[in-house]
Amino acid sequence: MRLGLMQAESAVLDVDANLAAVETAAQLAREGGADLLVTPELFPVGYAPRRLRDELDPRLLPEIAQSLLDVARRQGIGLLYSLPEKGEGQWRITASLAGADGTLLAHYVKVHLFGSQEREVFTPGTAPPAVVDFSGMRLGIAVCYDIEFPETARAAALRGAQALLVPTALGMGYDRVPERLIPTRALESQLYVAYANHSGTEDGFALSGGSAVADPFGELIAHAGRGPQLLFADLDPERVEAARRDVPYLHDRRPEVYRGWGH
């Protein structure tokens, strides 16, 4: 299975421009042989939590989501996209997986919110990473800060995920996340981790690029620079199985012991 990762600068609240950018990336990814394109956190609306709350009409969100499903269908490629959603008076950050036929396959609400703006605007989810079959692999979905907690990747792996897709909005100064932490999460839970970030500056927030894919042995197999880039990585389910045979972390867990250790 081949992944494409979109790294680009979003135009805050310019939905038409952002949807056009996603469609162009989807076309290029498909032409490059990708089965699935992973886009950054909140890319269709831009990463600007307070402005989204204050200026984005939530009644438009179903239409935006449908436009993204239509992109997947027109381009014939799976699409992992991230949008805000509002229900019962609460805003949340989500990620959704569309099939190449434009059907919605999975939906997930971000559990770990980062920084004062996110915690002010959004309500965290509580469900584990969504896991779904796609193109011969089991794919999990998480968002940004979620991956910085080992429980997230481990929960995805225990639910059968062979790869974890992570749209993100990582700011400058945290290069250690894609360079060190992403390979560690992949190694310790023995799955691929694909981490797609923005580049440029959005609403005064400088985003660091550095999108990355790590394999189940903890090796970085793709890593972007700072600027806009379409990154590709090939995922092999047999490599997941090889890692799990080599050192059986998941099999050798002792959850009955851990429960007595506290939290």
Instruction: List active site positions.
Output: 41, 110, 144
Q: Which helix (H) or strand (E) holds 66?
A: helix 61-75
175: three-class secondary structure by DSSP:
coil
The DSSP letter of residue 172 is T
Written as six digits, the tokens of 124 are 């965290």
Per-residue b or e along 87-98, where b marks 16 or more CB atoms closer than 10 Å to that residue's CB: eeeebbbbbbbb
Q: How far apart are CA 82 and CA 165, in angstroms?
A: 11
- What is the bridge-based pairing of β-strands 90-98 and 205-208? unpaired
Tokens describing residue 132: 């779904």
86: β partners: 91
